[in-house]
Amino acid sequence: MSEMHDHDHARADRRLLAVALAVLLAFMVAEVVLGIVAQSLALLADAGHMLTDAAALGLALFAAWAVSLPARGRWTFGFARAEILAAQANGVTLLVIAVLILYSAVRRLVDPPDVEGGIVTAVALAGIGVNLGVLAILSRARRESLNMRGAYLHVATDLAAFVGTAVAGLLIVLTGWDRFDPLASILVAALMLGAAFTLLRESGRIFLEGAPASVLPADVGEAIAAHDGVVETHDLHVWTVTSGFPALSAHVLVRRDADCHQIRLELETMLRERFGLEHSTLQVEHVADATGLQIRSSAGSRS
């Protein structure tokens, strides 16, 4: 029943992503045309950022579909990490575009062109409305996954950038100082760099098999070792398969008179309730059995 409920949520998320993507693409095309007419780098920077938003939503939509595919063949975890690939691709794209915007902004600070402040302000205000609408759509989706959080972060950052652009356009109208436009572009680039850093850090941690931020392996090891009947634990690994899917494996040695099967069940329950580790693989053995295995293995290697 719970799995069916998750599938229903996933389908609903995909529909919301598709609607949000269509809205962003329509506005992005209009913004590029008006940015060229107004000779506004800020508008074109926003359009570039919106392109990454559209790419983020497109990748999120594809990844959400890929995650729904069943595990098969060599893909024993299915395609759960497709969403992490999408988040990393979005982070790299944000980084590259931010650097290009910074380069162009510096050049325009030195030699600013004439900017139509009225058009900039009008389009930026429209962009604020569009992004508020898209955020309202995405807020109805679940954001437990890095994939969905990445898409939401893109749009939220774009909203802040539009606010900065609108202020720049208004200041140009009031003062005639065209350098407000590249200054707003620098703000856009800074926001993009922050979003890129967040996505690359989180996706990199998952690809490098880092433990989830909410789980400290040392605490997990101490909790296992402190359990009644456990002598020690080693070969402990905690990693994240994909967002919301932490996993653990460990070798646990128990006393000779302990019920290793019962202890395994108790440890699995403890790991699930205390650390949120739903997927755990525990190799539980009696101390004497483990020692005997090591001796036989050593003797075999000598022969």
CATH class entry, domain 217-302: alpha beta
Largest Cα span, the chain = 89
> Domain map of the chain by residue range?
2-207, 217-302
- Residue 295 or residue 182, greater confidence: 182
Flag whether pLDDT at 297 surpasses 50.
Answer: no
Determine the pLDDT at residue 161.
77
Indicate if 217-302 has the same CATH topology as 2-207: no
pLDDT, averaged across the chain:
80
Mean pLDDT within 271-283? 92
Pick the closest to residue 232 from 286, 158, 293, 289 (CA basis).
286
pLDDT at residue 251, rounded to an integer: 94
**Tell me: the pLDDT tens digits for 28-51?**
888 788 778 777 776 776 677 677
CATH number of 2-207: 1.20.1510.10
Task: Tell me the per-residue pLDDT of 213-260, one tens digit each, with 9 for 90 and over.
Answer: 888 999 999 999 999 999 999 999 999 888 778 999 999 999 988 898
What is the pLDDT confidence band of residue 295, given thresholds at 50, 70 and 90?
very low
